[in-house]
Amino acid sequence: MKTYDWRLAPNPRRVRMFLAEKGLDVPLEEVGTEACGSSPSSSRASTPYATAPTLELDDGTCISEAMAICRYFEDLHPEPRLMGRYAKDKAVVEMWERRAYEGPMFAITEMLRNTHAAFVQRGLPGIAEPIEQVAGVVERGRGRLRRFSASSDKQLGKSRFMAGDAFSVADITAFCALDFLARLLETPVAPEHVHLRRWFGEVAKRPSVPASA
């Protein structure tokens, strides 16, 4: 078993941080900007979903999508629970995880991927055919970040973590996205979002943060 990884990118970090929280050690293979294939011999041209992270199991099964990989490990190693225990918690975790993904994580795609020279003709991740960058989506990305910051600040005024009082994969996705955005923007979390800032500082102290950096 191994995970195709891209150290600098925010999505593979979601899985590294999740594994670190669980105390699991899965070998990583760095595939960098070439993204990853579903096997070492495959290429972006032959793999329709050539994104990092991708988990390759010993039987050759390849699982991409960070949340699918996390679900696999959560089922095999339930404790500590990072995806909720009961029906309601599971639903609330999934709701906030998806909001974090579609908020700051999509903001990175729209703001960086559509402007940076490294992604010319690679406007969408993991796709072999040339995809134009669309500079017009940068502003939309800023809006995603702004709206998520406001709504999660409100939520974090009521609870310790994104999806309630327990740390979860929703915190992992939000943290990985905001920590990555801190490299692009001076203040990814605005000063007035005091609850979000409190949460960010608290999560930053978890051992899984340096372990996954």
Ligand X SMILES: N[C@@H](CCC(=O)N[C@@H](CS)C(=O)NCC(=O)O)C(=O)O
Residue spans of beta strands (DSSP E) within the chain = 2-5, 28-30, 54-56, 62-64
State in angstroms the smallest separation of the CB of 104 from ligand X.
Answer: 13
State in angstroms the smallest separation of the CB of 54 from ligand X.
Answer: 8
Minimum CB distance to ligand X smaller for 123 or for 150: 123
State in angstroms the smallest separation of the CB of 195 from ligand X.
Answer: 26
Minimum CB distance to ligand X smaller for 125 or for 143: 125
Tokens 């500082």 found at: 201
State in angstroms the smallest separation of the CB of 68 from ligand X.
Answer: 8
What residues have CB less than 8 Å from 72, skipping those under 6 apart? 55, 63
Minimum CB distance to ligand X smaller for 9 or for 111: 9
CB count within 10 Å of CB 163 equals 26
Q: Name the site residues for ligand X (rule: CB under 6 A).
A: 6, 9-11, 35, 51-53, 65-66, 122, 125-126
Query: Do 69 and 55 touch, CB atoms closer than 8 A?
Result: yes
State in angstroms the smallest separation of the CB of 165 from ligand X.
Answer: 26
Torsion of CA 54, 6, 100, 77, to 10 degrees: 50
What residues have CB less than 8 Å from 147, skipping those under 6 apart? 103
Rounded to the nearest 10 degrees, the angle between the axes of helix 194-204 and helix 138-156 is 90
Please tell me the distance from the alpha carbon of residue 77 to that of residue 206, in angstroms, as a whole number: 20
Tell me how many degrees the CA angle 66-146-200 measures, rounded to the nearest 5: 60
State in angstroms the smallest separation of the CB of 2 from ligand X.
Answer: 16
